[in-house]
């Protein structure tokens, strides 16, 4: 996996993170427990007069040091051990989720990262802009590396696996956004490099509870990446953003040739102070979704299984702010913001045949070692999953955030993800035996191509102690059924969490 600039620096960072921030977290938890029996005067003393000092902005010559550290204590009704390189624990239902777990969890409401942001004035009409982020696990100091976590679980029985999952963060030094560009003011903003794609921006703007642990799109990832978590951030891309009056647009095109051969998206939106609406659409060619290899013979293998496909994505999102206090939209207090959205990803067989074993995807990880002949990416490279019918993955959500005052807020969300019955022709391919695919329409969990759904309900309470330090309590309950529950040990999960996020 990736590394810091020097092993000694990595070790020092890891020790400081584990000691200092664990103490801060335990102190925060103790404070919350004490507050439950406190008077109003006590609350004022603890949360106002006793608040930590505010950290100043770290800006010099247009360059700003930015970062975040997110840690919490979490209970998972069905969890797996944390391995120190995943972006977060397995907060929602997954096949490998086992027994109850109490965890020191990370990156629950926002990724932990360290980076630099540049906004340097060139003249009255142009600014030079740049952003480089390095995301890491705050418990270990390791760079976030989803593919490596999958690799560590090659050949490991389902019930013995540690946390794993595909990710756009694959141990790169800059595994977050990493771009430079030009802000041409009235002509828009141009960014070149590694950019968040348009669908990420849509969900981030409209899902009031967007997060890795408590939001279905934030957790699932493939919604954000238009079919693949690897394309949430698009390497070798150019992105354009602009707003003219009440109308705004985003466009992105990338051709990295790794996690996707090429991808493009665009959006058009209308915005006023109290409301907005956006629509987006896009296509990708040869997108890759990684998985651990399942057979015991693959224990220790450096290869990864992969499903390769083309996608078409589109969605519509809306938001409205209710001013319950009557103090105007610039005042934060007494505001109820409701966000809704629908997104569809259409998966189809790759039009050019896909990728062969030996192809290097994000982070340089190699897919293979063979072409799959049993309909499972856990056996090698699968290029034909949608023969006989496309997979349609629909995501719906409604979320609401009530800003009580400048410090307290309450957030809730309802999410539903559905898939159709798809791929009925897989078993008709010469030489292919796919026991995981049904050749007739179905809605049970016996086959992965049956109709199915995942439903999530979540709630979160935030307290902004200072502009840098947020304390939160949150919980999400998730349940899968039908084809989306095929192969699961447990089909539901809940994850009450108490935590803190320190950002600068």
**Confidence label for 46 from pLDDT (cuts 50, 70 and 90):** very low
Judge residue 60's burial from the number of C-beta atoms within 10 Å of its C-beta, 0-12 exposed, 13-18 middle, 19 or more buried: exposed
**Integer Cα distance of 222 and 229 in angstroms:** 5
Mean pLDDT, range 249-262, rounded to an integer: 98
Q: What is the pLDDT of residue 55?
A: 86
Q: Taking 60 as the threshold, does the pLDDT of residue 281 lie above it?
A: yes
Q: Is the predicted pLDDT of residue 5 greater than 60, yes or no?
A: no
H/E run at residue 343: strand 335-348
Residue-level pLDDT at 49? 53
Band (pLDDT 50/70/90 cuts) for residue 451 is very high
Are β-strands 408-419 and 381-382 bridged in parallel, bridged antiparallel, or unpaired? unpaired
| Strand 101-106 to 58-60 pairing | unpaired
Neighbouring C-beta atoms of residue 88, cutoff 10 Å? 25
Percent of the chain past pLDDT 90, that is, above it, reads 87
Mean pLDDT across the stretch 141-150? Answer: 97
Whether 111 has a pLDDT exceeding 50, the answer reads yes
What mean pLDDT is predicted for residues 152-163?
A: 96
pLDDT for 377-428, tens place per residue? 999 999 999 999 999 999 999 999 999 999 999 999 999 999 999 999 999 9
Domains, the chain, in order of start with CATH, read: 7-503 (2.40.160.10)
Contact (Cβ atoms closer than 8 angstroms) between residue 300 and residue 271: no
Give residue 337's Cα distance to chain centre: 22
- Of 436 and 2, the one with more pLDDT: 436
* Band (28; pLDDT cuts 50, 70, 90): very low
Nearest 5°: phi and psi at 54?
-80, 135
Name the residue with higher pLDDT: 31 or 374: 374
Q: Name residue, tokens 């997954």.
A: 94
Question: What's the confidence (pLDDT) of residue 328?
Answer: 82
At 50 the pLDDT is 62
Residue 184 CA to residue 178 CA, distance in Å, equals 19
For residue 489 the two structure tokens come to 């040990």
Predicted local confidence at residue 332, as pLDDT: 81
């Amino acid at each position: 996996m990736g590394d810091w600039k020097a092993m000694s620096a990595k070790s020092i960072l890891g020790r400081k993170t584990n000691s200092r921030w664990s103490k801060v977290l335990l102190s925060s938890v103790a404070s919350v427990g004490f507050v439950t029996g406190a008077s109003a005067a006590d609350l004022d003393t603890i949360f106002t007069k006793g608040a930590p000092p505010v950290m100043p902005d770290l800006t010099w010559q247009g360059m700003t040091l930015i970062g975040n550290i997110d840690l919490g204590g979490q209970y998972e009704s069905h969890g797996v051990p944390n391995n120190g390189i995943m972006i977060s624990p397995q907060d929602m239902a997954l096949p490998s989720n086992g027994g109850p777990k109490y965890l020191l969890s990370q990156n629950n409401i926002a990724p932990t990262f360290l980076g630099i942001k540049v906004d340097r004035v060139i003249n009255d009409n142009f600014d030079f802009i740049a952003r480089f982020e390095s995301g890491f696990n705050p418990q270990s100091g390791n760079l976030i590396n989803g593919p490596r976590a999958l690799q560590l679980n090659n050949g490991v029985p389902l019930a013995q696996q540690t946390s794993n999952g595909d990710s756009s963060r694959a141990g790169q030094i800059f595994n977050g956004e990493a771009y430079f560009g030009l802000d041409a003011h009235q002509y828009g903003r141009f960014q070149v490099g590694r950019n968040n794609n348009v669908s990420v921006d849509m969900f981030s703007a409209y899902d009031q509870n967007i997060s890795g642990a408590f939001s279905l799109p934030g957790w699932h990832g493939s919604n954000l990446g238009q079919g693949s978590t690897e394309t949430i951030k698009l390497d070798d891309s150019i992105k354009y953003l602009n707003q003219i009056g009440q109308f705004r647009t985003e466009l992105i095109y990338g051709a990295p040739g790794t996690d996707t051969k090429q991808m493009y998206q665009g959006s058009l939106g209308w915005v006023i102070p109290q409301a907005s609406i956006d629509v987006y659409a896009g296509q990708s060619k040869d997108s890759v979704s990684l998985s651990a290899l399942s057979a015991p013979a693959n224990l220790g293998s450096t290869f990864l299984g992969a499903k390769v496909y083309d996608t078409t994505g589109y969605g519509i999102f809306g938001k409205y702010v209710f001013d319950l206090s009557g103090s105007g939209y610039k005042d934060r207090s007494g505001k109820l913001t409701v966000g809704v959205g629908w997104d569809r990803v259409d998966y189809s067989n790759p039009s050019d045949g896909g990728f062969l074993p030996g192809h290097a995807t994000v982070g340089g990880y190699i897919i293979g070692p063979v072409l799959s002949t049993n309909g499972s990416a856990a056996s090698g490279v699968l290029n034909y999953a949608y023969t006989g019918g496309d997979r349609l993955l629909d995501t719906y959500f409604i979320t609401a955030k009530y800003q009580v005052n400048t410090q307290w807020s309450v957030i809730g969300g309802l999410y539903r993800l559905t898939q159709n019955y798809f791929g009925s022709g897989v078993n008709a391919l010469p030489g292919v035996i796919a026991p995981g695919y049904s050749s007739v329409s179905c809605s049970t969990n016996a086959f992965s191509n049956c109709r199915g759904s995942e439903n999530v309900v979540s709630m979160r309470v935030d307290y902004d102690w200072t502009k840098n330090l947020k304390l939160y309590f949150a919980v999400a309950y998730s349940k899968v059924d039908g084809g989306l529950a095929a192969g699961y040990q447990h089909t539901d999960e809940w994850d009450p969490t108490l935590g803190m996020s320190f950002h600068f």
